[in-house]
Structure 1
Amino acid sequence: MVATIGDYAILPITLPATPAFPTQTTHTLYLRPHAPKVPTEANERSLFLVNIPVDSTLAHLRAVFAHLLGAAGRVEDVIFEGEKRKSSTALMEVPKTKIGDKGSKKRKRNTDEDTETPELPEVWDRTLHRSGSTAVVVFVDTKSVEAVLKALRKLHKSGKESKYPVWGAGLEGKVPELGSVRYQAHHALRYPDKKALQYNVDAFMTAFNSAEERKRKEDKKARNVPDEDGFVTVTRGGRVGPARREDAEEKRKEMEEREEKKRKEREGEGFYRFQVRERRKKEQGELVRQFEEDKKRVEKLREAKGKRGLRPEN
C-alpha cells in the first residue's frame, strides 16, 4: 500500500464484520499535521484527519492512536467537522476539504455568542457523521504527533494487515450501540422528564431574552452615533423579553389615556373635513368682524379729537 498521497499520510484501519455487513474490510484514513490559516496554540500538536468513519467517536479515535503509540491517554481532544467546542483547543470549525486540495479554506472562529445560549436536550445518544467527514485530533504534546507519523511509516514498511488498528476494539459496552438499539434510545430521549425539559427551556429562554435585550440596547445606542463618514446607522427595534404584568398594565393605561385625549380633540374640532372648514370660516369671520369694529372705533376717536382741536378766532 502507498504510504502517502500528496501531503497526507495513509492510515489503514480494519473494520470488523458486523451483522449488517458480515465481511471484514479495510477503511482508509488520511492525516497530516494541522496547519490552518488562523493559528491556534494547539496547531503544533494536532493532526488533521480526512475520511473518518461515519460512526467515529472520541473513544474510537483514541483507541486507534493508542494502538499506534503503544500507550493510551495521548489524545487530548477530537473536534469533528461542524462541531463547536468551548475548549481552548477548539478555536475553529473543522474545514471541509478533499485529498490533495491545497486551496484556501474558510474557517470561522467561535465566539461567546455561539456558546452562550444553552442547548436543548439531545434526542440522539450518539452522533453519526456524513461520509468523508474530517476531524482534528489534538494530542497532549508535539512528540505524540511525531510518534504517530513515525509509527505509520513503520506500519507501511511491515506490510502486515494484522498490525492495522481494529476499529472499535476494546470499546464494547463503552459507547452507545447502533442499529435498532440506537432508535430505541432515540424514541426514549424524545420524551424527556418534564422537570429536566422545563429547566432547559427556562435556561434557553433566559439566555435568549438577555441576548435580545443586549442587542436592543446596542441598536438604540447606534441610532445617534455617526460612523467615520458621518452617516448614522439606521436600525430597527428588536424583540425583547416578556414584560411584567405591572409594566404591561401601566402601558395599557397610558395608551387608553392617549386615545381618550385624541377622541376629545376630534369631538371639539370636528372629525370630518367639512366640519374643519366650517370652523375655520367661522373663526375668520369673527376676526373680520372684530377688525371692522376696531376700525370704526379708531375713526370715532379721530373725529372726537379733531373737534376738540378747533377754536374760534378773537
Structure 2
Amino acid sequence: MVARRRKRAARDPEKGLLSPPGYSAIPIKFSEKQQASHHLYVREHRVRGGTKSSWPQKRTLFVLNVPPYCTEECLSRLLSPCGAIQSVQLQEKPDLAESPQEPKSKFFDPKPVPGFRVAYVAFQKPGGLAAALALKGPLLVSTESHPVKSGVHKWIRDYTDSVPDPEALRVDVDTFMETYDKKMAEEEAKAKEEEGVPDEEGWVKVTRRGRRPVLPRTEAASLRVLEREKQKRARKELLNFYAWQHRETKMEHLAQLRKKFEEDKQRIELMRAQRKFRPY
C-alpha cells in the first residue's frame, strides 16, 4: 500500500512538495499579499504513436490544476519569459481523442461552471518548452502593470460581459443557421441517393420523405377522437361479471321483447281495422 502511494505521487526534492508522476510543479500566487502558493503541474504533451494531434509535438506544454482566476491571457503572460508562445487554450478536461475541437459559440453553448481546468500551451520553438519545464517561481498572476479583477469588480465585469452585443449575436445566429441549413441539405441529398438502393444484405432503406404533411386537428375532429376513446373505454368495462348482473340483463332483454311483441300486435290489429276490402 505504501509503495503504491509512493508510485502515485513523487516528491520534488528542490521544492519539497508532492506532484503527480511525470509532472513538474510551478508555484504561483494571486498577488504579492498572498502568502500561500498554488501549484501548476506541467509536463510535455505527448500522444501515442500513429495518433494525430492538433498540438505541435515537442513544443506543447500540458498544464494541470489551473485555478479559475487564471485566464488564457494570464497564463500566456506567466509563461512568456520562457519563449514566444504560439497559442494557449484552457479546457475543462484533457482531449482524449487527441483531435481538434470545433469552435463553440458563446451564445448557443452553455457557459461552464468556473473551476479548475487544464491548459495546452504551444510554444513557437522547442526551447520554450524546456524552459517552462525548468521554471521555478513563484509567479504572480495579478501585478500592478497587469491587475486581475476580483470580488465586486469581477462580478461587474462578468455581468457586463453577459449582456450580448446585438450585432455580434446577429452574426452568430446567421452563421449557425447557415451551417444548419447546409447540414440538413447534405443529409437530404444523401437520403435521396440511398433511397431505393438495396444494401449488401438486400434491405432497402425507407425514409419519411414523400409522406403527406400532418395537418392540425380541428375542433370537430378532436371531439370525434374523444367520442371514440369514450366508446373504447366503455367496451373495456366488465359487463355481466356477476351472476346477478347476468340475470338482470336477461330479464331486461325479455321485457324489451315482450314490449315489442305487444306493439307489433297492436299495429297488426290497427292495420286490419283500416282494411276496406272485405271479400266476405
TM-score (norm 1): 0.50
Aligned twin of 1:305:
none
The alpha-carbon distance between structure 1 residues 136 and 171, as it changes in their structure 2 partners (threshold 3 A), is farther
Asked if 1:142 is matched to 2:126, the reply is: yes
Code of the residue aligned with 1:8 in structure 2: it is Y
Q: Is the 8 A contact 2:86 2:123 kept in 1?
A: yes
* 1:109 maps to 2:99: yes
1:245-284 alpha-carbon deviations (Å, 9 max, x no partner): xxxxxx99xx9xxxxxxxxxxxxxxxxxxxxxxxxxxxxx
Residue pair 1:12, 1:28 contacting (<8 A) in 2 also: yes
Match of 1:208, SS?
A: helix
Residue 148 of structure 1: how far off its partner (Å): 2.2
Which residue does the alignment assign to 1:54?
A: 68
Counterpart Cα distance in 1 of 2:126 and 2:144: 26
Counterparts of 1:62 and 1:56, CA distance in 2: 10
Q: Could you tell me which residue of structure 1 aligns to residue 253 of structure 2?
A: none
Give the whole-Å Cα distance in 2 for the aligned partners of 1:110 and 1:225.
35
Aligned-partner Cα distance in 2 for 1:208–1:191: 25
CA distance in 1, matches of 2:203, 2:145: 61
Kindly indicate whether residue 80 of structure 2 is the aligned counterpart of residue 66 of structure 1.
Answer: yes
d(CA) in 1 for partners of 2:58, 2:22 = 16
Q: How far does residue 232 in structure 1 lie from its aligned partner after superposition? A: 4.3
What is the RMSD of the two structures over their aligned residues, measured on CA atoms? 3.6
Tell me which amino acid in the other structure corresponds to 1:137: V
- TM alignment of 1:240-279, pairs within 5 A: none
Paired residue for 2:36? 25
* Higher RCO structure, 1 or 2 (CA under 8 Å, sep 6+): 1
Verify the 8 A CA contact 2:52 2:99 in the aligned structure 1. Answer: no
Structure 2, unmatched stretches of 5+, are: 1-14, 216-280
2:242 corresponds to: none
Tell me how far 1:27 sits from its aligned partner: 0.4
Inter-CA distance 29–188: structure 2 relative to 1 (3 Å threshold): closer
Q: Distance in 1 between matches of 2:89 and 2:206?
A: 40
Q: Per-residue deviation at 1:31?
A: 0.7
The 3-state SS of whatever aligns with 1:172 is coil
1:185/1:145 Cα in 2 relative to 1: closer, same or farther (>3 Å)? closer
Over residues 121-148 of structure 1, what are the superposed CA-to-partner deviations in whole Å (9 max), with x where a residue is unaligned? 8998xx87422x2111111111111222
Query: Partners in 1 of 2:142 and 2:182 — Cα distance?
Result: 43
- Residue of structure 1 equivalent to 2:45: 34
Q: Which runs of 5+ in 1 are unaligned?
A: 83-92, 96-105, 156-162, 238-250, 256-314
Q: Residues 228 and 179 (structure 1 numbering): CA distance in 2 closer, same or farther, change over 3 Å?
A: farther
Q: 1:204 matched to which residue of 2?
A: 176
Secondary structure at the residue paired with 1:42? coil
Pair 164,121 (structure 1): closer, same or farther in 2 beyond 3 Å = same
Do 1:35 and 1:43's aligned partners in 2 also have CA atoms closer than 8 Å?
Answer: yes
Report deviation, 1:51: 0.5
Residue 13 of structure 1 deviates from its aligned partner by 1.4
Aligned mates of 2:78, 2:163 — CA distance in 1: 35
Aligned residue pairs: how many?
194
Residue 120 of structure 1 corresponds to which residue in structure 2? 107
Determine the structure 1 residue equivalent to 2:244. Answer: none
What is the deviation of 1:119?
A: 5.4
Does the 8 Å CA contact 1:63/1:169 hold for their aligned counterparts? Answer: no
Q: 1:193 to 1:81 in 2, by over 3 A?
A: closer
Cα distance in 2 between the residues matched to 1:193 and 1:31? 37
- The TM-score, its normalising length taken from structure 2, stands at 0.56
For residues 173-212 of structure 1, what are the alpha-carbon distances to aligned partners after superposition, in whole Å with 9 as ceiling and x for unaligned? 5x6x343233334444444454443343233223222222
Q: Which residue of 1 aligns with 2:94?
A: 94
Q: Aligned partner of 1:36: which letter?
A: V
